[in-house]
Homo-oligomer: A and B are copies of this chain.
């Protein structure tokens, strides 16, 4: 280990290597984007070779003598650093600690596996063929167990995986928060099921071409503040957002010919992610803190735009004229009917089509199954059945195909185990920011929405959330913004207020 007289010089070199890593990462990101948006099917093998090769270069760079020595030497100067520098060195050290534990061949094998996983998943889902995907899932879980072992954990291996997406989160904490959440959700759901109010969401259906939907969603994303000079929208099987620095931030959408509302809200969701990344400051965009701080905070932004803002009555009223222009079938119905239809609560099979209330139950099911897979408490043969049982238990519906059940999500195919909880955490963070931040600082919040001044709200989010990038860990950030730690009560309060009104509950 080098001893640094003045850490500033070493830090400059550290930033240069960070930029090299960002270059490789961006190249990988573009190769992935291209793979799922346009690459022909037979290109998959070659593509996986190329992505795998870049992973190898990244591995060499990160575990190389120079970078290693720099990171550990710089860490000795931790206390002299400012918040951003601290966050960079902490993240770099954490990643290195882990990399040094995982053997190179394993790392490369896993990188190749997850690079091609999505293509196999998409084929399996299309053919409703769980058997063809099972061995891949098995391998991915196997590797994730190993990864958990390499990373280390205090109580249970799943903690280590959670930490990848939500630094600091633990099973112990999530079990608590999610049990309060599940209880609250089921209670509210029961009331809604017993309500006399019946909502007809079929008024939203209608056949609209991809072209018409694309045009509407592009304009909608602009209205939300998404900058197309630094953004683009494409199609893929599963919507996602990705970025290569803060000046090339993209989203994808999947269009349903029969229901334009699906793509509309998925676009709002991904736009929420994208606006976060577009608002990352230039001075950190090429570093390891140059992105959203965690998946949970990221989802708090996307789910805030999608639900708290996007499904708000005032928002739907303001958006109604644009919707009607694009989807003319809607003009037979009043804005309030559209608002109610968009907020209909109805337990269903597909997570991404779920309403705002039951959505978190889909997440809790995945959270429970992931823990079981990682703990070896369920066999891969039984997994689809167990999935179906849980849906029946919590939501009262049962999938009859793999495609509508265990094969519906892309995440596992890309190696993402421990990610799903982020969606539910996002709901909680978002509601907490609303009640303990936005409404406090923007007392005319509902007027802003009504008048279409979304940019004022986006500005608040940019200042309070986006501008920090990965400087503060989620726990620190949420306290900084709201003055208190994560709490399920605000989300439950938000849901109760909103749905009591819609469903006329006592």
- Which residues does A use to contact B, with CB under 8 Å? 20, 23-24, 26-27, 30-31, 33-34, 38-43, 45-47, 49-50, 53-54, 57, 211, 228-232, 234, 244-245, 247-248, 250
Contacts and interface: CB of A to CB of B under 8 A. Distances in A.
B57 A245 contact: no
Nearest to A19: B49
A452 B83 CA distance: 69
Contacts of A234: 38
Contacts of A211: 211
A116 to B, nearest CB: 13
A433 to B, nearest CB: 28
Contacts of A27: 27, 31, 50, 53-54
Contact of A50 (B23, B33, B231): B23
Contacts of A31: 27, 30
Nearest to A57: B57
Given A30-B30, A34-B33, A229-B41, A23 B49 contact: yes
Q: Which interface residue of A38, A45, A229, A230 has the most chain B CB atoms within 10 A?
A: A38
Given A30-B34, A31-B30, A46 B232 contact: no
Contacts of A250: 38, 40
Given A38-B232, A42-B229, A244 B57 contact: no
Given A30-B34, A232-B39, A244 B23 contact: no
Contact of A43 (B24, B53, B57, B248): B248
A230 B38 contact: no
Given A43-B247, A45-B247, A26 B50 contact: yes
Contacts of A245: 43, 46
A89 B41 CA distance: 32
Nearest to A54: B27
Contacts of A47: 244, 248
Contact of A247 (B20, B46, B57, B247): B46
Interface of A, helix, strand, loop or mixed by DSSP: helix
A248 B30 contact: no
Given A39-B248, A40-B229, 14 more contacts: A23-B53, A26-B46, A27-B50, A30-B50, A38-B232, A38-B250, A39-B232, A40-B228, A40-B231, A40-B248, A43-B247, A45-B247, A46-B247, A57-B57
A40 B246 CA distance: 11
Nearest to A52: B23
Contacts of A42: 229-230, 247-248
B43 A244 contact: yes
A305 B315 CA distance: 55
A232 B57 CA distance: 29
Nearest to A51: B27
Nearest to A33: B34
In order of increasing CB-CB distance, the 8 nearest A-B pairs are A43-B248, A23-B53, A42-B247, A46-B245, A42-B230, A42-B229, A23-B50, A26-B50
A19 to B, nearest CB: 8
A42 B231 CA distance: 9
A228 B40 CA distance: 7
Contacts of A232: 38-40
Contacts of A26: 46, 50
A47 B43 CA distance: 23
Contact of A34 (B34, B57, B228, B230): B34
21 contacts: A20-B53, A23-B49, A23-B50, A23-B54, A26-B46, A30-B34, A34-B34, A38-B232, A40-B228, A40-B231, A40-B232, A40-B247, A42-B247, A43-B230, A43-B245, A43-B247, A46-B245, A46-B247, A46-B248, A47-B244, A57-B57
Given A30-B30, A50-B23, A40 B230 contact: yes
Contacts of A20: 53
A89 B445 CA distance: 69
A42 B250 CA distance: 12
A248 B38 CA distance: 10
A171 B311 CA distance: 69
Contacts of A57: 57
